[in-house]
Amino acid sequence: MLKAIPYPSQEAEEKLAHIATRKMGADPSLEKRVFEILETVKREGDAAVIRFTRQFDAPSLGEDRLTVREEEIRAAYDEVDTNFLDILRTAIANIEAFHRQQLHPSHFMTKPDGTFMGQMVRPVSAAGLYIPGGKGGETPLISSVLMNGIPARLAGVKDLALATPPRKDGTINPYLLVAAKEVGVTRIHKMGSAWGIAALAYGTASVQRVDVVVGPGNIYVALAKKLVSGEVGIDLLAGPSEILVIADAHARPDYIAADLLSQAEHDPLASAVLISTDRALAEKVTDSVRDQLKRLPRCDIATEALERYGALFLVKDVEDAIRLSNRIAPEHLELQLRDPWSHLGKIEHAGAVFLGDATPEAVGDYFAGPNHVLPTAGTARFASALGVENFLKRTSVISYSKTALERDGRAIIRMAELEGLGAHAASVRIRLEG
Ligand SMILES: NC(=O)c1ccc[n+]([C@@H]2O[C@H](COP(=O)([O-])OP(=O)(O)OC[C@H]3O[C@@H](n4cnc5c(N)ncnc54)[C@H](O)[C@@H]3O)[C@@H](O)[C@H]2O)c1
Ligand SMILES: N[C@H](CO)Cc1c[nH]c[nH+]1
Ligand SMILES: [Zn+2]
């Protein structure tokens, strides 16, 4: 299943080209299909959202049931256990403590000539949080509620709308509802996929339009976010999950196999890649993957992911491994090396880096504190983890004194004239010459 390929080689280049087909928008027919869904929701509003939801997720969803009611949230609190609430609140505390460091206040500067310049930092008024639920709400990513909601709240966003696919019976998983309430979500809508993103971006009779849409999701969600971007703000393209492990002979093959599978089980389009300096280790990992797969409930999904986008590259040393990893720019990068810290500085492109064998990627998914909403499909070359800044805007503030305008006015007039913009020049001249 994971065939060892030497790198560099022609075969490795072919494999890399295949992995690159996961790039967002690489399949124009899929993008066209998602565009059509968006246009349908724009045109028909609630009717389209309900129709898609019934077709894909909840066949009997009632006409007036797109939004979760207060009594559903109260019932959810009755259903969840106190152990869950304890775990949830600890995770919230960890994630909050980490994200608090990302808060940057407004700043202002004044000069002796009386000029004043500054930057006001303001939250968006309304944010839409997409929470993956799987088809028919089978895999509600409760942890994603925390990863989306906590930075939004810290940023000061007042209106937090959440969208997630409902279960077959039209309800939402109670643990997810409780998590939403705990982080201060204001409205919860039972709608997933591209139609959920469209409703948040364009608004419908029962879904209020938001200013930014954030959160992870499958390929339909990621493409929908890409297409609505501009009409609303988006965070980043956080599509099907990925893991890349760099390992030397010191690593534990069973740990590596487990970590590769932990991301492969997310989606048939997930990707799991091992780059190893040691052929014997690589063979042991392959055996262990085969062995552990048998025990996984989501064995079919993980198998498909490994067959499509699994890869095992053999390299001569850690330097080559890091060069290759930087080319791929993975969402999650694990350094399963004898001395991982000595290599950290060479990592140029990765959504998150995990060091040492006591750090399975899953600690980042749930508990450590950094955000698990991360760039995929090579977008870690230019994008970063979801954070407080995705919910903030910066407004520049400028005030000139008469003395400063007299000093700079001629230079401004000259620049405006070079651009052929006479009215700009005149707006300054009138103040200098009266
Ligand atoms: N990059 C990140 O930060 C990150 C974080 C968490 C999860 N993820 C990814 O999020 C995704 C979660 O996917 P999921 O499927 O479990 O939940 P999801 O909510 O993203 O997708 C399920 C929705 O898609 C709909 N859908 C299924 N088939 C469809 C089709 N043919 N056309 C249109 N819509 C369709 C379902 O009916 C459902 O509404 C996974 O790919 C996972 O790897 C990424
Ligand atoms: N690994 C996912 C990001 O790619 C996040 C997640 C949530 N729950 C489990 N995993
Ligand atoms: Zn995960």
pTM over the 0.80 mark = yes
Under a CB-based contact definition with an 8 Å cutoff, are residues 356 and 340 in contact? yes
What distance in Å separates the CA atoms of residue 388 and residue 393, rounded to the nearest whole number? Answer: 10
How far is ligand 1, taken at its centre, from the CA of residue 256, in Å? 25
At 29, is the secondary structure helix, strand, or coil? Answer: helix
Q: Give one DSSP letter per residue of 260-282, joined into a string.
A: HHHHHTT-TT-EEEEEES-HHHH
Q: What is the pLDDT along the chain (434 residues), one digit of tens a residue?
A: 799 999 999 999 999 999 999 988 888 999 999 999 999 999 999 999 999 999 999 999 988 889 999 999 999 999 999 999 999 999 999 999 999 999 988 999 999 999 999 999 999 999 999 999 999 999 999 999 999 999 999 999 999 999 999 999 999 999 999 999 999 999 999 999 999 999 999 999 999 999 999 999 999 999 999 999 999 999 999 999 999 999 999 999 999 999 999 999 999 999 999 999 999 999 999 999 999 999 999 999 999 999 999 999 999 999 999 999 999 999 999 999 999 999 999 999 999 999 999 999 999 999 999 999 999 999 999 999 999 999 999 999 999 999 999 999 999 999 999 999 999 999 999 999 97
Handedness of CA 174, 88, 234, 138 (dihedral sign): negative
Q: How far is the CA of 138 from the centre of ligand 3 (A)?
A: 15
Please give the order of strands across the beta sheet that includes 392-399.
Answer: 107-110, 116-123, 392-399
| CB 259 near ligand 2, within 6 Å | no
Cα 387 to Cα 214: distance, rounded to the nearest angstrom: 10
Kindly give the pairing relationship between strand 107-110 and strand 332-336. unpaired
Alpha helix (H) ranges present in 336-389? 361-366
**Long-range CB contact pairs, 259-262, < 8 A, 24+:** 259/334, 259/360, 259/361, 259/362, 260/285, 260/289, 260/306, 260/310, 261/289, 261/292, 261/293, 261/296, 261/302, 262/360, 262/361, 262/362
User: Would you say 332 is a known binding-site residue?
Assistant: yes
Cis peptide upstream of residue 8 (ω within 30 degrees of 0): yes
CA distance 336 to 266: 22
Residue 266 assigned to a binding site: yes
DSSP character for 230?
Answer: T
Q: Could you tell me the domains of the chain?
A: 4-24+240-368 (3.40.50.1980), 28-234 (3.40.50.1980), 400-433 (no CATH)
Q: If you measure from the C-alpha of residue 163 to the centroid of ligand 1, how many angstroms do you get, rounded to a whole number?
A: 12
Q: Looking at the DSSP assignment, which residues form a beta bridge with residue 314? A: 6, 276
What ipTM does the predicted assembly reach? 0.99
* Catalytic residue chosen out of the listed positions 99, 332, 349, 372: 332
Q: Of 214, 263, 266, 379, which is best to mutate to test ligand 2, by the most ligand atoms within 8 angstroms of its C-beta?
A: 266
- Give Cα separations from 301 to 106, 132, 298, 347, 382 (angstroms): 46, 16, 6, 30, 29
The answer to whether the CB of 331 is under 6 A from ligand 1 is yes
Beta carbons within 8 Å of 76's beta carbon, 6+ residues apart:
174, 175, 177, 178, 181
pLDDT of residue 1: 77
**For position 434, what pLDDT does the model report?**
76
What pLDDT is stored for residue 23 in this prediction? 87
Residue 230: burial class (beta carbons within 10 Å; 0-12, 13-18, 19+) = exposed
* Residues pairing with 117 in the sheet: 109, 398
Cβ atoms 346, 360 nearer than 8 A: no
Burial of 216 (0-12, 13-18, 19+ CB in 10 A): buried
Q: How long is the chain?
A: 434
